[in-house]
């Protein structure tokens, strides 16, 4: 492929940007009563309103032309067909097969993966329902009251986010805990709330070698034995989800307690696989099926809808537009939903581990920006933390706002206020408040002219700040499945546009390697002297201070 920035379609967008950059959305809304109608669409129970963006029909046309020039449709087909598009690891990318509810064959190396997918899914479902209905008990015959998922990254963020998001659908008979951090405070806190004979540990690790997860799993096992469990009781209290069956067995988890998945499932795309076993325990086999169905519906939409009406593609185009032409450095993801409070963290790994790259697929350094920093927090809390900067700061930060029309939990009077704030914030970011409006307001309050003039500039809102609104009826399993798949596909589309491999993560390796080297230096008898002076001194300072 020619260099992205040399493509005529890229240059056309550059030229178009110069005509747009100083234009104002407010004028476009005034001039076109149909702007919402033109720039919104519905799919899989989700309404996407993208009319509050600094785009015209021409912007979109140019972006779609660029998408076609980089063969987005071809890449999409290659992913769904099971081609090894993860080129640096030589792997297919088939999280879509895990939720392939149509059950059409999907081939990797000539073999249909669907029988194995269906088999593990059925075993997960049977296990989950047995824990839920009390048929699966602890070693002393007591019901399971606490489920502890031990994993990190994709083996934690997805299950944690979904279990919390769907807490309205989860069994109230159990509590769900997620231990990820190697900081002992994390596991100690969880263990202090549980009892060995009623706790089920789920060890989730694609590789079954991740340092944090292995240590947390060993600590959990040692605690279990220390509290009264016997070696033979481990089988009633420890299960695992992994691609590395041999390592899990070596850890002591019997084969019948292992839920397998495969190298073509990326860690950050793995909640649909055996990694979702904690989700299945929480919301049941049927609930998990509904989650998969919602994601499958979004897969079909992504596969079949023309680019112009394709929700993941549109969201990706907007990210390209602002990242590469407006120079946006970050993107806020703001669910107006307490139960979705982990969604920003989850999408952070999805987008930044996937597209935080500066080398393209062909090994060339890129000369354009790739993934923006993804961050956010649940509303309305964030209105009282970082919204000041969104409204009046010097940074240009586009944002996704998410909300359900109906509450997860009905508490009289709350949801209307939540929604009013959601809508008000997107309106405020767009319309802002002019000097003339502020002056009029202050005059109406009878403020003295001198005070008024001093205060006036502080009360002006520039506006013209872009947002997407994603609205759905309820945060039910189908809708959540569709929402997650939407973000997954959006991320893939951006990777295609930037010509990066969205499915490897070499950037996490160096720190892991150095930590292996530093550990014995920190705990050994000799002071460190083989690093730069900062690193040596940090190690040696900590050696002194740590006792
Ligand atoms: O942070 C790197 C990473 O490999 C992630 O991609 C992955 O989700 C996480 O570590 C955990 O890996 P594993 O599931 O193999 O323990």
Q: If DSSP states are collapsed to H, E and C, what string results for 281-325? A: HHHHHHHHHHHHHHHHHHHHHHHHCCHHHCHHHHHHHHHHHHHHH
pLDDT for position 547: 74
Supply the pLDDT for residue 7: 97
Residue with tokens 């009029």: 440
Q: Is 82 in the pocket of ligand 1 (CB under 6 A)?
A: no
Atom of ligand 1 nearest to the CA of 268: 8
Q: What is the pTM of this model?
A: 0.97
384 carries an active-site annotation = yes
Q: Is 330 in the pocket of ligand 1 (CB under 6 A)?
A: no
Q: 208 C-alpha vs ligand 1 centroid, how far in Å?
A: 9
How remote is the CA of residue 347 from the centroid of ligand 1, in Å?
15
Q: Quick check: CB of 155 below 6 Å from ligand 1?
A: yes
Say if residues 403 and 337 touch (Cβ distance below 8 Å).
Answer: yes
Burial class (CB in 10 A: 0-12, 13-18, 19+), 207: middle
Q: Which atom of ligand 1 is nearest to the CA of 267?
A: 8
Q: Is ligand 1 within 6 A of the CB of residue 350?
A: no
- Is 478 a residue of the active site? no
How many CB atoms are closer than 10 A to CB 54? 23
Tell me how long the chain is: 547
| Half-sphere exposure in the Cβ direction for 295 (13 Å, CA) | 26
Ligand 1 in contact with 243 (CB < 6 A)? no
Beta strand extents in 187-237 (DSSP E only): 199-204
Q: Which residue has a Cα nearest atom 2 of ligand 1?
A: 508
Cβ of residue 207 lying under 6 Å from some atom of ligand 1: yes
CA–CA dist 200, 363 (Å, integer): 45
Closest ligand 1 atom to the C-alpha of 151? Answer: 16
The answer to whether residue 177 is catalytic is: no
Per-residue pLDDT of the chain (547 residues; tens, 9 = 90+): 568 999 999 999 999 999 999 999 999 999 999 999 999 999 999 999 999 999 999 999 999 999 999 999 999 999 999 999 999 999 999 999 999 999 999 999 999 999 999 999 999 999 999 999 999 999 999 999 999 999 999 999 999 999 999 999 999 999 999 999 999 999 999 999 999 999 999 999 999 999 999 999 999 999 999 999 999 999 999 999 999 999 999 999 999 999 999 999 999 999 999 999 999 999 999 999 999 999 999 999 999 999 999 999 999 999 999 999 999 999 999 999 999 999 999 999 999 999 999 999 999 999 999 999 999 999 999 999 999 999 999 999 999 999 999 999 999 999 999 999 999 999 999 999 999 999 999 999 999 999 999 999 999 999 999 999 999 999 999 999 999 999 999 999 999 999 999 999 999 999 999 999 999 999 999 999 999 999 999 999 999 998 7
**CB neighbourhood size of 132 (10 A):** 22
Considering the candidates 3, 11, 414, 512, report the single residue annotated as catalytic: 512
- Calculate how far, in angstroms, residue 154's C-alpha sits from the geometric centre of ligand 1: 6
Give pLDDT, residue 1: 59
Tell which atom from ligand 1 comes closest to the C-alpha of 353: 6
CA gap 278, 149 in Å, rounded? 7
């Amino acid at each position: 492929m020619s260099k992205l920035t040399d493509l005529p379609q890229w240059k056309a967008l550059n030229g178009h940007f110069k005509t747009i950059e100083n234009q104002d959305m407010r004028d476009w809304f005034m001039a076109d009563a149909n702007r919402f109608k033109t720039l919104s669409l519905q799919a899989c129970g989700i309404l996407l309103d993208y009319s509050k963006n600094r785009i015209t029909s021409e912007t979109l046309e140019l972006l779609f032309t660029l998408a076609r020039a980089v063969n987005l449709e071809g890449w999409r087909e290659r992913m769904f067909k099971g081609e090894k598009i993860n080129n640096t690891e030589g792997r297919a990318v088939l999280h879509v097969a895990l939720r392939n509810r149509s059950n059409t064959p999907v081939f990797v190396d000539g073999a249909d993966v669907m029988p194995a997918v269906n088999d593990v899914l059925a075993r997960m479902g049977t296990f989950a329902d047995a824990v839920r209905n009390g048929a699966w008990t602890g070693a002393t015959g007591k019901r399971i009251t606490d489920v502890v998922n031990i994993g990190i990254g994709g083996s934690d963020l997805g299950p944690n986010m979904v279990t919390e998001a769907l807490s309205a659908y989860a069994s109230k008979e159990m509590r769900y805990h997620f231990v990820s951090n190697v900081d002992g405070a994390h596991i100690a806190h969880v263990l202090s709330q549980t009892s060995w004979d009623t706790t089920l540990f789920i060890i989730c690790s694609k590789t079954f070698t991740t340092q944090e997860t292995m240590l947390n799993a060993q600590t959990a096992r040692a605690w279990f034995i220390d509290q009264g469990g016997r070696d033979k009781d481990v089988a009633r209290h420890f299960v695992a989800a992994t691609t590395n069956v041999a390592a899990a067995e070596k850890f002591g988890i019997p084969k019948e307690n292992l839920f397998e998945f495969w190298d073509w499932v990326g860690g950050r795309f793995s909640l649909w696989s055996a990694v979702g076993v904690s989700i299945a325990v929480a919301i049941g086999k049927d609930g998990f099926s509904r989650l998969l169905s919602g994601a499958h519906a979004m897969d079909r939409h992504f596969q079949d809808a023309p680019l112009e009406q394709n929700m993941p593609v549109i969201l990706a185009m907007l990210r390209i537009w602002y990242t590469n032409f407006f120079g946006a450095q970050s993107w806020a993801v703001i669910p107006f939903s307490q139960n979705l409070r982990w969604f920003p963290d989850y999408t952070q790994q999805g987008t930044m581990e996937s597209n935080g790259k500066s080398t393209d697929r062909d090994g060339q350094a890129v000369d354009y920006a790739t993934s923006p920093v993804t961050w956010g927090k649940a509303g309305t809390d964030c209105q009282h933390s970082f919204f000041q900067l969104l409204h009046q700061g010097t940074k240009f930060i586009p944002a996704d706002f998410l909300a359900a029309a109906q509450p997860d939990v009905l508490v009289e009077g709350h949801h209307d206020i939540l929604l009013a704030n959601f809508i008000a914030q997107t309106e405020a970011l767009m319309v802002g408040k002019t000097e003339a409006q502020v002056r009029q307001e202050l005059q109406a309050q009878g403020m003295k002219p001198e005070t008024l003039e001093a205060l006036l500039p502080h009360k002006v809102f520039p506006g013209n700040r872009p947002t997407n609104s994603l609205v759905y009826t309820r945060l039910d399993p189908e809708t959540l499945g569709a929402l997650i798949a939407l973000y997954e596909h959006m991320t893939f589309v951006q990777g295609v546009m930037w010509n990066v491999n969205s499915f490897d993560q070499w950037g996490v390796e160096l720190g892991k390697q150095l930590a292996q080297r530093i550990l014995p230096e920190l705990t050994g008898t000799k002071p460190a002297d083989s690093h730069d002076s900062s690193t040596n001194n940090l190690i040696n300072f900590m050696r002194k201070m740590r006792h």
